[in-house]
Amino acid sequence: MLYLSIVIIGGLIGFSAGLFGIGGALIATPLLKIFVGLPPMLALATPLPSAFPAALSGTLAYYSEKLIRFEIVRWVLLGALPANLLGTWLTKHVGGEAMMLYTGAFMLLVGTTFFVRGWLLAESEATEQLSPQSLVITGALAGFLAGFLAIGGGLIMVPAFVRFNRMKFKQATATSLFCVAILSIPATLGHWLLGHIDWSVALVLAVCSTPMSFLGARWAITLRNRTLERIYGTLMMLFACYFLWSQFH
């Protein structure tokens, strides 16, 4: 039963990675803690090794549709990579239970933002607003949280690309997922050195999440941008509320 739970979690995080351009680790953390019983710090970082193959698998689907904005990637990674190392290092100074609350609160914030945008605001046709400075700042924030919360960073990049840079959701998702694949490498190495990864669980997650990420990306390509935003916001809000509730019961 425990093994089956890990397999299902792997499939879920892979599918969400491809569908929404996130690493899937943020969703996996509460699931591993609640249903598998991993200690907080292991639940936090164990999904990281699966982020690279899952993100790469989803990226291939988006690449075939020419949705990845490589001219944006370089600026994002310029800010993200050094910030990622700093965030990873800081985790050893924070307690595991506190990290769980930070994770849940962040999920709720992001979910609420997209819920409001997807259901309550008119769809925007604004012109893109891209600048190297804004992309480096987005990358730095995404990289820091990718290391600190052991997530891929997509939950920062996708909202920032859509809200501040006015990118279409599918392009934001595809570009974010490519960045997630790169950021997962230093984050995984850092948390491995800190002893935060259960490799037996991580291997199962990687095997299950990789093909599901490709399927999630293929499905995302067929959906409208506004539909994706609504699904993203609603599911993230509901899941964040459940996870935060579980921390107090």
Split at pLDDT 50, 70, 90, the class of 74 is very high
To which residue do tokens 């943020």 refer? Answer: 26
Q: Cα separation of 76 and 244, whole Å?
A: 30
Q: Given phi > 0 = left and psi -120 to 50 = alpha, else beta, which region is 150?
A: left
Nearest Cα neighbor of 90 from 79, 78, 104, 102 is: 102
Q: Cα separation of 48 and 143, whole Å?
A: 13
Residue 151: what are its φ and ψ, rounded to 5°?
A: -115, 170
Whether the predicted pLDDT of 13 surpasses 60: yes
Q: What is the dihedral of CA 124, 129, 133, 137, to 10 degrees?
A: 10
Domain ranges of the chain: 2-247
Residue-averaged pLDDT of the chain: 85
What number is the average pLDDT over the span 36-47? Answer: 88
What is the reported pLDDT for 126? Answer: 64
Q: Cα separation of 23 and 132, whole Å?
A: 23
Q: Cα separation of 66 and 242, whole Å?
A: 36
125 Cβ contact list (under 8 Å, min separation 6): none
Split at pLDDT 50, 70, 90, the class of 249 is low
What number is the average pLDDT over the span 60-73? Answer: 93
Whether the predicted pLDDT of 4 surpasses 80: yes
125 three-state secondary structure: coil
Instruction: Tell me the pTM.
Output: 0.80
Greatest pairwise CA separation for the chain in angstroms: 50
Q: Is the dihedral of CA 242, 31, 41, 26 positive or negative?
A: negative
Q: Are 213 and 57 in contact (CB under 8 A)?
A: yes
Higher pLDDT, 243 or 183: 183
What is the reported pLDDT for 124? Answer: 56
Q: Given phi > 0 = left and psi -120 to 50 = alpha, else beta, which region is 124?
A: beta
What is the reported pLDDT for 6? Answer: 92
User: Could you read off the pLDDT of 112-145 as tens digits, one per residue?
Assistant: 877 776 676 555 566 788 889 999 999 998 899 8
What is the reported pLDDT for 243? Answer: 74
Q: Are 110 and 155 in contact (CB under 8 A)?
A: yes
What is the reported pLDDT for 120? Answer: 64
Q: Which two tokens stand for residue 88?
A: 């990873």
